[in-house]
Amino acid sequence: MYFLSLLSICILVAHAAQDLYLGEKLITKLTDHNFQKTLTTPKPVLVKFYNPGCPHCTRMVSAWRQVASHFEGHMVVGAVNCATQGVCGKYGVNGVPDVRLFIKGPKGEPVPIKYEGNRTKDSIVGFAKPYLLSYVHKVSDSKKTGVKSLDAFLKTEAGLPHVIIFKQGKLVPSMGYMTLSVDFKEKYSFGIVNLAIDADIPGKLGVTLPKDTDSLVFIAPGEKKGELYPGKNSFIEMKAYLQKQITKEEKSEL
């Protein structure tokens, strides 16, 4: 009996050792059963195809965990054990580790992009980051081509509340703000303003912004005056604030 129990434990330990990402919270364990469903998420899906017996795969474990931590909440980061899952053959994986980014094609179909760079966190992040989704409108009253005026932006999806991030520097949304525009795509219209060019827009919305920091302003549906977001510029806190605003709007409609 003791021998059988010990043997069972050894088998379990050996089985666990075959999965390089067992119990990982930030890395989605992909299998033949959930692979296609995972690709239906609106966010890009970054996948590492691996074999636990491959030395290069095991040396890459730390970098892959760092990639998953970097993109937490912004992109799905997963891993497939090719020693046990047939999906690797379906996608023509001949050597491991094999990293591919799946994005949406013209008809919504998943399109894989093969990564050919170094097996480091910074290199992989640099490859994947440009493919993050964003539904953020550039807003300016300077009459720039391809940029919405404030009035035009507020008329965009007029039935929705609007939020604007006011940037102190370049007109480039942060990764967190881009992800908020994806998570709340059906609930808000998102804009971005460069204060170096449009310093008068906050006044038009009736808000005074703090100096030397990016600021978020909420505008209720049909309104032209805004409300300054009072919290920290963190993805989690801004997401909680926007969810709270939705709840307030829904209660007011009852």
Specify the number of domains making up the chain: 2
Residue 192 counted as domain residue: yes
**Strands, sheet with 45-50, edge to edge from the N-terminal-most edge strand:** 28-30, 76-81, 45-50, 98-104, 110-114
Collect all residues with Cβ–Cβ distance below 8 Å to 13 and sequence separation of at least 6: none
Which of 131, 162, 180 corresponds to the end of one domain?
131
Would 7 be classed as within a structural domain? no
pLDDT at 172: 85
Is residue 236 included in any domain, yes or no? yes
Is position 48 within any domain?
A: yes
Distance of alpha carbon 236 from alpha carbon 243, whole angstroms:
11
44 vs 47: CA distance, rounded Å? 10
**Based on the domain organization, do 52 and 98 belong to the same domain?**
yes
pTM for this model (two decimals): 0.81
Alpha-helical segments (H) within the chain:
2-17, 35-38, 55-59, 61-70, 87-90, 121-128, 150-155, 175-183, 201-204, 235-252
Q: Computed from CA positions of residues 188, 194, 195, 197, in that sequence, does the dihedral angle turn out positive or negative?
A: negative
Is 44 in the same domain as 106?
yes
Strand order in the sheet with 215-219: 136-138, 189-194, 162-167, 215-219, 227-228
Confirm whether 11 is domain-assigned: no
Same domain (yes/no): 115, 214: no
Say whether both 195 and 146 belong to one domain.
yes
Instruction: Supply the pLDDT for residue 11.
Output: 36
Q: Is residue 13 part of a domain?
A: no
Are 179 and 126 part of one and the same domain?
no
Range of the domain at 166: 136-252
Task: Show which of 114, 131, 148 is a domain's final residue.
Answer: 131
Same domain flag for 154 and 240 = yes
Residues 55 and 106 in one domain: yes
Whether 114 and 150 share a structural domain: no
Q: What is the pLDDT of residue 168?
A: 86
Q: Do the domain assignments include residue 87?
A: yes
* Per-residue pLDDT, 169: 77
Based on the domain organization, do 25 and 114 belong to the same domain? Answer: yes
Strand, coil or helix: 75 = coil
- CA-angle at 197, arms to 185 and 186, nearest 5°: 5
Tens digit of pLDDT at every position of the chain (254 positions): 443 343 333 333 444 346 899 889 999 999 999 999 999 999 999 999 999 999 999 999 999 999 999 999 999 999 999 999 999 999 999 999 999 999 999 988 999 999 999 999 999 999 999 999 999 999 999 887 778 999 999 998 989 999 999 998 777 899 999 999 999 999 999 999 999 999 999 999 999 999 889 999 999 999 999 999 999 999 999 999 999 998 877 766 65
Of the three residues 131, 165, 191, the one that is the final residue of a domain is 131
CATH number of the domain enclosing 64: 3.40.30.10
For residues 196 and 223, membership in a common domain is answered with yes
Is 16 contained in some domain? no
144/123 same-domain check = no
Cα(215)–Cα(232) distance, integer angstroms: 9
Q: Is 117 exposed, middle or buried (0-12, 13-18, 19+ CB in 10 A)?
A: exposed
CB 64 within 8 A of CB 30: no
245 and 144 within one domain = yes
